[in-house]
Every structure is written in C-alpha cells, then in structure tokens.
Structure 1
Amino acid sequence: MRTLSKTLTVPLYAVALVALTVPVAAAAPRPAPADLEWSVQTVDADQSFRGLDAVDRDTAWVTGASLSGGPAKVYRTGDAGATWQDVSPPGRTGLNFRDVEAEDDRTASVLAIGEGEASRIYRTTDGGATWTETFRNTEPTAFYNCMDFYPGGKQGLAVSDPVDGRFRVLATADGGRSWQVLPDAGMPDSTGEANFSASGDCLTVSGRDAWFGSGGARSRIFHSTDRGLTWTATDSGIPAGEAAGVFGLAFANPNQGVAVGGDFAAPANGVDATSTTRDGDSWSSAGDLTHLGEDAAYLRRSTVVVGESGAVGGSSVSTDGGRTWTRFSDVGFHTLDCTRDGSCWAAGGRGRVGTL
C-alpha cells in the first residue's frame, strides 16, 4: 500500500553504535542497560537516514532522503564514524534511498523506493566512486520497499507492495548486477496488505531462508525456503492497522528471530510490538515495549530494538530472548545493524550519527 510507505517521512535521528569494550567471544557477557548510552554527531542535517548496512566496526554505509527536496545521498565511513564520505550516485533529486546492502567497503547496492520508476537499484564496486543503475521498475503500481542478499552475496531479493493482490518479489543471481521479477504463483493472496519501508529491514535473509513482514489489513510474516519462489504467511502476533504491523525483522540464525512493529498513529504504545520465533515458521507475541519498534538486531546474546515517530522514540534491550525489554534510552532511531565483531550501528534522521 503506497500510502503506508509514503507516510514514513518524519524526521529521524541517525546514530552509530560502535564496539563495546568487552572482547568479542561466543560467551561474552550480555551488555547491561546501564552500559548503553548514545553519543551523537551530525553528518548531514538535510538527510533523513533509513538505510544502513554495517560491514564491521570500522565500515558502514547509510542512505537517506533530503528533508528540503534536494538529492538523496549515500554516505560511507571507513574509520568507525570519525569521518563520513558522500559517495552518492548522480541524478538523485527526488529519490528516496531507503535501503543499502553492502558486501564490503567497495561493493554495495542501494534501493530507492516509490511508485513506478521511482523504485530503482544502484550498484557500486569501487566504494561509491561510480555507480550503475541495475534496476528501474516499469510497473506503475509496484512500490519496492526493502531488499537483502543471501550469504555469499550472489543471490538476493527485493519486495514490493502487492500488485494485483499479491506481493511482488524481485530477484538477482549475479550479486545485484541484474534483477528479474519472480512469478507470483507461489505468493499467498495479500490484498489490503503492504510493507513498511521504515528501516530497510522489512525483508531479511538468514541462511537459505527469507522473511518479510506486512501491515495494513493483516499483520503477517511471509517465509520462503526456495529463494523467493514460494511463500507461506503466518500471523505475526503484532496488531494490524492502517499504519500498523511489522516494521522490521532480525534473525540470529534461521530458527531464532524477532519481529518488531507497532502503530505510527500511536507511537508511544509499544504493547504487543514484538514477536519471536524459535523455528522460523511460527510466531508468538513477546514482551511489550514503551515505544514502537522499527528495527532490531542481535548483539552477542542480547537483542536491541529502536524506533521513533516524531517526538516519540526509544531504544530497548532484551537479555531473555525478547520476553522482557528494558528501555535504556529515550533517543529513538529507525534502522539498526550489528556485526560479528561486536559492533552495532543505528541510523536515523536530521543527519545525526553517534556512538555508544
């Protein structure tokens, strides 16, 4: 539903959460809420960041849209956020970069969202010095919201709001150099549903599996085990509504995952805003938040959730698999990513970037 995707344009905060002082190890202690505190800097006050991909503790990419009608931009850091480079592709005025998926500090794909030809994908292999447009949507009613790549970076998917009553899925098998629309025979009827392009993580991949969330008429989680050809849909446990449903997904492995969401019409109400799975298929309502959840990530043995809508936002952590959540900050963000080396980054609006 285009109206849902278009309404998510409120100013955001951008924050990068970098390495904790505890050495990274399989049995590293969980971070205590008292240890978590945001420190903020401004990268570009005209940009509202919603796309984020962290490669490691030093390298991250963020993408956004102009708050004043100017060009959308892409920024990259290679020094843990001390400095950021504008590595944007040309011809970006009027575009809205909502997702970025990076293979390393050189190779990344960026998704622009919107109806018709506003939905595009750009790819760089030289750190943003040059870009190639690898996909431009030609279906007037399609509206692509988010994308992700399978391990190895060759195969990937992007998902659009329903076309003729079924979610539309785009696929690549060559690392994002080219994309093809998949047949929709294996997609359940999705009439009245939509994706939320709140964080770039409405679709996510773990192992050989892919999931995406929906809202609107129903709040469901769609699951594919065959590279996007067929999907099963399960109730998410997060309430549905015109501006409510699943906003973001994260997986520790193909069986253990968390879905977060809420209602942009009532952003201070985080009741039933999280759901968890232990088998990758069935979902159960988990602990309540005190703010909506737009994105989530696993940090060692803990789970972090962030969200913001207007003046209402917050950041929360769970150390018990999502059963309970502790709000450790009133500062809210829209997108979040944690890396294997124990660093976490979050990004949002008003051009702000920070560290923990």
Structure 2
Amino acid sequence: MKKSTITYLLFLISLATSGQWNTIPLPTAASFRALKSFKNEIWMGGTKGTYIHSKDEGITWEVKQVPGAENLDFRDLIILNEKEIILMSAGPSEKDAAKLYKTQDGGQSWEIILHIKEPKYFFDAIAWDHKKGIGYLLSDPIEQKFVLLKILQNGSKIEPINLIHFPTLLPREAAFAASGSSLLWMNKKLTIISGGGHYARIFQSLNANLTSWEITHNEIQADTSSGYFTIAAKNKNHFWVAGGNYLNLNSSEIPIIETKDGGKNWTPIKSPLPNNYYIEKVIWSSPYWIVTGPAGSYAFHPKLSQWKKLSESHYHNIITTKHKIIGVGAKGQIGYFNKSELQALFFPKK
C-alpha cells in the first residue's frame, strides 16, 4: 500500500481572542496521544497508524500513515534527530500490536525494529537518554513484574533488563499508556509511576544497571481506572506527577504531587488545581507548569501561585516549542496556544 501524504500550509493569522487554543484543521479523524518536539520539528502519532510531522514549528504539516500499521495506535515516540524517529505502538501483543517502528529518512520509509509476539506484552512509554543514545521501553507487568527493555544504538539493538530487585507489584497495578509519560529518565535514574492497584505508587532505580529499585511514594489510594498518569521534570531535582480517573474526567481524588530532591520525597503541591480533574499530561514550559486532559487545560505560575484556565480544550497530550504549546486529542483534535498569549493571561495589559 502506498503512503498517502498531504501537506498543508497554515497561515498563523488567528481570529481567536487572547488566551485561546487555536485549532489546526488537518484532514484526519485519528486520535492522537504521541507527541514530541525537537528544535522546530514536531511529530505526532495516533490511531490507524497515522502520524503527523511539521518541520517548521507548525507552519506546514504532513499527514501520513505507516504502511501495514493501519490497525495500530501510536501512543509514544522518540525523536532521535531530524531524520531518525521511533514510533511506539500500544496494544496487546496477542493482537500483533507490540511493535516499534523506526524511520531513518524523516518518514519517507519505515522499518519494524521490535515485534514481540509472546502474550501479555503491552507497551506503555519510552524514556530516552539522548547523551548516550539509549532508551528504555516500559511494558505492562507480567506475573506482577514490570517488563523493561533497553534500546541501544538508536534502535539497532534491543535487550531485556532483568529487574532482579524490584518491589512486588499490587494486584492489577500497572503503568498507564495514556500520553507516554509514565516513565522519566533523569539524573541517571529511571522513575516509573503507576496506577490500577489499591495505591498509586512511584518507583525509582537505585543503580546504573537498573536491577535494584525502591518505592519512593505510596500514599494515595487508587483503583483499576485511577492512579498516576504523567511525570515531568522542571530540572534535575524538581518533578511533578499528576493523574486521576480516566472514567471520571471532571473530578479527581488524585492530587498533583511534587518532589524537589530528585524523587526521594513527594508532597502535594501547595496551590492545588482549582477544579481537580483527570490529568493525562503535565509539562514544564518555563516559567509555567501546564496540565491537560480531555476535560481541559490549565497553566500554573509558581512565583504568583496562580492557576489560569487555557480556554476550552480536550487534549490528551501537550508539548512545548519555542513559541507555542501544541496539543493533540481525539478525533483529529490538534491545536496550539501562543506563549505570548499565555503570558498575557497572567500579566494582562491595563
């Protein structure tokens, strides 16, 4: 099957008022969760094997489909450089959905670099060490133990990591593959956040080969549809973790928590979200923390201790670029929020 390619030029003259998400009209009904940026490059991945690419921070876009991946749902991706990208398919291996694809020519062609056919695999997220060119692929637990794979040589070699000393998981505990952000590599340590069990928990590695781990947080009750969904770093010491219940989008008993010592100690943030809801993604876009979920998106200014709602939005995932916040969601919902308008929300002109 030939790849279908559609290129669109978007004139960034918006009729939206200040402080609004601006819709990017693209010809796709796919739902998107995978989203990453690198310099001016933006990549998105979604259902039906669909991916979207911009080389110029969203002025022009290409909508494409990976041949043979029409039944797959891409929920995370890694941008290695301008030409090399890895797409992660999230789905049960029993349905032939546990796959990684890679392009070495900017999306002109794709190859499968990992295809697991053994049962019980379901990929959740990828974390990447760009300095060493090494990645870590997290899969759902098998026999109550997470599965972790190491991606070497930019995807040329993939090998399992033996989690010898990993804490026993709770019944039904797992990582959510919502926005590909249940895994964080920082300070030469890997952090995994969980849900689905009786408690939402945080695990952190203790050694370089990732064989030993400890639980650094286990105080928040959860259930099969709730827990922690997303972790993000402001710097090497300051992280936020957020989540909720994906069956209850407008309410959440899962607080946003933070660490300021690299993950050793966690506490609820001092200025909680005014309308606590299901949060699927959190990012740091200096000087703001920004959270999003299908029920809406908010920005938080730490120095002002203020939250501002970013108009109506229903995005699963967001990323920051030089001038914009980019959002993706269900049924082809794609948009951007100008950072200059974000600043105007907190510092309106008199």
TM-score, normalised to structure 1, is 0.82
1:307 and 2:293 are equivalent in the alignment: yes
Residue 264 of structure 1 and its aligned partner are, at CA, apart by 1.6
Q: Who is 1:288 aligned against?
A: 273
Q: Who is 2:161 aligned against?
A: 182
1:224 and 2:205 are equivalent in the alignment: yes
CA contact 1:238–1:274 (8 Å) conserved in 2: no
CA contact 2:80–2:130 (8 Å) conserved in 1: no
Structure 2 CA distance for partners of 1:196 and 1:323, relative to 1, 3 Å = farther
Which has the bigger relative contact order, CA under 8 A and spacing at least 6? Answer: 1
Residue 254 of structure 1 and its aligned partner are, at CA, apart by 2.3
- Counterpart of 1:199 in structure 2: which amino acid? S
CA contact 1:238–1:246 (8 Å) conserved in 2: no
Q: Who is 1:97 aligned against?
A: 74
Residue 188 of structure 1 and its aligned partner are, at CA, apart by 1.4
CA contact 1:153–1:175 (8 Å) conserved in 2: no
Q: Where in structure 2 are the equivalents of 1:147-296 lying within 5 Å?
A: 147-152=126-131, 154-192=133-171, 193-217=173-197, 218-225=199-206, 226=208, 228-235=210-217, 238-279=220-261, 280-286=263-269, 287-288=272-273, 290=275, 291-296=277-282
CA contact 2:227–2:254 (8 Å) conserved in 1: no
Please list the CA deviations of residues 125-151 of structure 1 after superposition, one character each: whole Å capped at 9, or x if unmatched.
110111121111233012111112113
CA contact 1:304–1:318 (8 Å) conserved in 2: yes
CA contact 1:150–1:207 (8 Å) conserved in 2: no
5+ residue gaps, structure 1:
1-17, 19-33, 66-70
Q: d(CA) in 2 for partners of 1:227 and 1:86?
A: 39
Please list the CA deviations of residues 164-203 of structure 1 after superposition, one character each: whole Å capped at 9, or x if unmatched.
1111111112112221111121321113201111111111
Residue 338 of structure 1 and its aligned partner are, at CA, apart by 2.0
Q: d(CA) in 1 for partners of 2:231 and 2:80?
A: 20
- Counterpart of 1:147 in structure 2: which amino acid? I
Instruction: Report the count of equivalent residues.
Output: 314
Secondary structure at the counterpart of residue 154 of structure 2: coil
Please list the CA deviations of residues 195-226 of structure 1 after superposition, one character each: whole Å capped at 9, or x if unmatched.
11111111122242221211011211121252
Q: d(CA) in 2 for partners of 1:50 and 1:227?
A: 30
Q: Who is 1:353 aligned against?
A: 334
Q: Who is 2:32 aligned against?
A: 49
**Once superposed, what is the RMSD of the aligned Cα atoms?**
2.3
Q: Who is 1:129 aligned against?
A: 108
CA contact 1:52–1:347 (8 Å) conserved in 2: yes
Q: d(CA) in 1 for partners of 2:336 and 2:36?
A: 15
Structure 2 CA distance for partners of 1:347 and 1:227, relative to 1, 3 Å = farther
1:77 and 2:63 are equivalent in the alignment: no
Secondary structure at the counterpart of residue 140 of structure 2: strand
- Counterpart of 2:196 in structure 1: which amino acid? G
Q: Who is 1:40 aligned against?
A: 23
Secondary structure at the counterpart of residue 325 of structure 1: strand
Q: d(CA) in 1 for partners of 2:335 and 2:162?
A: 42
CA contact 1:162–1:191 (8 Å) conserved in 2: no
Q: Where in structure 2 are the equivalents of 1:12-31 lying within 5 Å?
A: none
Q: Who is 2:340 aligned against?
A: none
TM-score, normalised to structure 2, is 0.83
CA contact 1:44–1:352 (8 Å) conserved in 2: no
Q: d(CA) in 2 for partners of 1:190 and 1:271?
A: 22
5+ residue gaps, structure 2:
1-11, 338-350
- List structure 1 segments (4+ residues) > 6 angstroms apart after TM superposition: none
Secondary structure at the counterpart of residue 120 of structure 2: coil
1:106 aligns with one of 69, 72, 83: 83
Structure 2 CA distance for partners of 1:128 and 1:94, relative to 1, 3 Å = same
Residue 330 of structure 1 and its aligned partner are, at CA, apart by 2.7
The percentage of aligned residue pairs carrying the same residue is 25
Structure 2 CA distance for partners of 1:326 and 1:59, relative to 1, 3 Å = same
Please list the CA deviations of residues 59-85 of structure 1 after superposition, one character each: whole Å capped at 9, or x if unmatched.
1000000xxxxx321111112223221
Q: Who is 2:98 aligned against?
A: 119
Q: d(CA) in 2 for partners of 1:72 and 1:62?
A: 11
